[in-house]
Amino acid sequence: MKAVRGTRDLLPPETALWNRIEATARDVFARYNFGEIRTPVFEDTGLFARGVGEETDIVSKEMYTWEDRARAQSEKTQSLTLRPENTAGVVRAYIEHGLGESGLLQKLYYIGPQFRRERPQKGRYRQFSQIGAEVIGPPSAGSESPLRDAEVLEMLSTLLDELGIKGWILHLNSVGSSADRARYNDALRAALVPVVGQMCVDCQRRAETNPLRVLDCKVPTDQPFIETLPVIADSLDEESKKHYAAVTAALDAAGVPYTRNHRLVRGLDYYTRTTFEFTHGGLGAQNALLGGGRYDGLSEMLGGPRAPGIGFAMGEDRLVLTLLAQQEGESVVTKADAYIAPLGDKEKADELVKLNAAALGLARELRHQGLWIELGEGSFRLKKSFDAADKTARQIVILGEDELQSGILTVKNFSTGVQSKVPRGELAVFLSIPANE
Ligand code: AMP
């Protein structure tokens, strides 16, 4: 049996990196006063159809959807979907629990798996993990303010820096209000009429159904045509222009670098005004580390109260790929502080049981004092214990009959080669001193 195409197992030592990323994200979110939300991994299919948009690639071809049969008369058969993204679920929860009634901004973050039936390739999987956050609330809480957009972007720049991601680029755009977008769609449609016949079949379809999506096209021969199309900045109304200018002014004041990218319209229908993406050159074709934007009408689309918001989702898999590429050549293997090697006589079963038991006691003592301990096995020969210890730990502690009697243990440090005799009472302190490397 093998893991399903597009899914994979994450194993140590790489999982240590995943944990470090998540710990850093939690720490940064806490400093910006965000709280964690955990929504279910599957939801009613209608949530995504309405929230993300029927016309999007995600909803039209990438969702894992099934009919969930009723198990009792009181239940209805329901169409369910593994979440392809988490914003719709967060906004559903915001509405369901009346979170807006507090009158305060809700600042929520999540970390968890998402599912899309995409064509797998490097950095693109069918189960992947996103770290994301949303700032949402009633307009009276200041949820429409461009300061919220700038604060989220500033937080992201801090998070990527603290994760150690070097050379990220923030692409920024405004897709305006839905009225602005309707105007822009008309302008695009008109501009596409004379050229679309020479473009790819996808663009020919998009020109009809959703002209904005033409800007996402990656087909090289289409690019010269796309470059001549009108830009959305020219379709923005005064309010949207003011909002965009205020976001960039705040970023300038905070010293967060960005580039304006008028083709950044993003793949989800719910975005309004500010949209953004952070990319990294080391990722290849799938170069987006994260994407997000404002979604001022989403709550109403899902039947909720007015609740403007802004959020983002970061691809954790891509953060890991970027960090692994950056630290290429560096060892990611972390070693235990010590390997405890009970050293007995294979022939004397009783003695072995006693030694192994004593070794467990010693390991427990040291672990309770905060040390990372690997516990060996008394029936191993000395050489086998040393080989195993060298691979997993910085030091080896030998526990034989003599050591047990005297309470003086033999410790060898693998990087210095030094062998020492250490009284049991001083062992924890001795082992915790970093190796003199
Ligand atoms: P989106 O929800 O499409 O805006 O995606 C936000 C971020 O999630 C992207 O910038 C990627 O980093 C990540 N992402 C999206 N789809 C995938 C996928 N299939 N595999 C891995 N990461 C993904």
Residue corresponding to tokens 């003695």: 351
100 pocket-lining for ligand 1 (C-beta < 6 Å): no
The tokens for 57 are 């690639």
Task: Please work out whether the CB of residue 144 comes within 6 Å of at least one atom of ligand 1.
Answer: no
Distance 315 CA to ligand 1 centre (A): 5
Residue 82 to residue 65: CA distance in whole angstroms: 7
Q: Residue 48 Cα, ligand 1 centroid: separation in angstroms? A: 16
Residue 290 in contact with ligand 1 by CB distance below 6 A: yes
Rounded to whole angstroms, the Cα distance separating 385 from 374 reads 11
pTM of the model: 0.89
Whether the CB of 120 sits within 6 Å of ligand 1: no
Are the C-beta atoms of 99 and 93 separated by less than 8 Å? Answer: yes
Binding site membership of 130 for ligand 1 (Cβ less than 6 Å): yes
CB 420 within 8 A of CB 430: yes
- The CA angle 96-99-104, to the nearest 5 degrees, is 165
Centroid of ligand 1 to alpha carbon of 292 (angstroms): 10
Of 181, 213, 185, the residue nearest 199 (C-alpha): 213
Residue nearest to atom 13 of ligand 1 (CA): 315
Beta carbons of 5 and 120 less than 8 angstroms apart: yes
User: What SS3 state is found at 243?
Assistant: helix
Q: Residue 141's CB: how many other CB atoms inside 10 A? A: 19
Amino acid identity, position 301: M
DSSP state of 434: P
Using CA atoms, how far residue 37 sits from 89, 134, 148, in Å, is 10, 10, 19
For residues 245, 31, 94 and 319, what is the CA-based torsion angle, rounded to 10 degrees?
A: 80
Angle between helices 316-326 and 14-31 (to 10 degrees): 120
What's the gap in Å between 146 CA and the centre of ligand 1?
25
DSSP 3-state of 266: coil
Whether the ω angle into residue 257 lies within 30 degrees of 0, i.e. cis, is no
Contacts with 216 (C-beta within 8 Å, 6 or more apart), sequence order: 263, 265, 267
pLDDT at position 269 is 67
Over its length of 437 residues, how does the chain's per-residue pLDDT go in tens digits? Answer: 999 999 999 999 899 999 999 999 999 999 999 999 999 999 999 999 998 888 788 898 999 999 999 888 888 899 999 999 999 999 999 999 999 999 999 999 999 999 999 999 999 999 999 999 999 999 999 999 999 999 999 999 999 999 999 999 999 999 998 889 889 999 999 999 999 999 999 999 989 888 988 998 889 999 999 999 999 999 999 999 999 999 999 999 999 999 999 989 876 667 899 999 999 988 887 889 999 999 999 999 999 999 999 999 999 999 999 999 988 756 556 799 999 999 988 888 899 999 999 999 999 999 999 999 999 999 999 999 999 999 999 999 999 999 999 999 999 999 999 999 999 999 999 999 875 44
Distance CA 164, CA 143 (A): 30
Cα–Cα distance measured from residue 403 to residue 405, given in angstroms and rounded to the nearest whole number: 5
Q: Can you state the angle between helices 146-163 and 14-31, rounded to 10 degrees?
A: 150
